[in-house]
Structure 1
């Protein structure tokens, strides 16, 4: 049974909050939750100087990490613990210091234990800077009980 829209959103918010409590990596990179719902999540992040590579652009691994965090929140938004099995990222434009990146993800396929999550990363000019596709797998367990805790 699919929960009502408000119940699904509340469950997604609770599961995401539980995950973010323990997510030191995303916090250290300054990732901010914008919104989350069942099968959908948006985060943003400002690119800092310590995220730049030898070409003075944002390290691709940083962009990947932002997209990976969004993928994780989408995959876990149904309150079933899920892990990433594989992912690809295509970096389509350079990212610079002080750019504000917004990563928007959604579940593209999968109603069983395997899901495909697509994430688009844009800059403050709404230019696409990366396209990410992840395959996730549900493992045992939930993040919160169905009452939200």
Structure 2
């Protein structure tokens, strides 16, 4: 799939999530699964996973899943419910699944789990989809 390969190339240049060590595990139309190891630099003053780090993991999965059809998509709203704390040294995974897609919008459910399969956060995201970009002229 050309669109998925192009998306992987774009992600390779996305410095912020890559600086956190977020890696793509799976990518398919309307679906993405990504992972990151929660390090000591990613905790809050309570010593548990910082909400911003967990949100970034989920947002990365949302961005990949929603852009997997080839249309540029940007988040309109993202809500997150933190259910359990993330612990240092834990591998966290975010799985984004498309639940509804129209020409202009998409709705996604993202689940963040730890390496034991325990749900850490549940996220819902709505994206705005633009028309596919025309290829650049030579």
TM-score, length of structure 1 as denominator length: 0.86
Q: Offset of 1:14 from its aligned partner?
A: 1.4
Report how many aligned residue pairs link the two structures.
136
Please state if 1:23 is matched with 2:14: yes
- Write out per-residue CA displacement over residues 72-100 of structure 1, whole angstroms, 9 at most, x where no aligned residue: 00100001001001110000000010010
Displacement after TM superposition at 1:144 (Å)? 7.4
2:122 to 125, 128, 131: 131
Query: Structure 1 residues 144, 92: closer, same or farther in 2, change over 3 A?
Result: farther
**Structure 2 residues without counterparts, runs of 5 or longer:** none
Whether contact under 8 Å (1:79, 1:144) holds in the other structure is no
TM-score for the superposition, normalised by structure 2? 0.92
Partner of 1:95: 86
**1:56: which partner in 2?**
47
Structure 1 runs of 4+ off > 2 angstroms? 139-145
Secondary structure, aligned partner of 2:72: strand
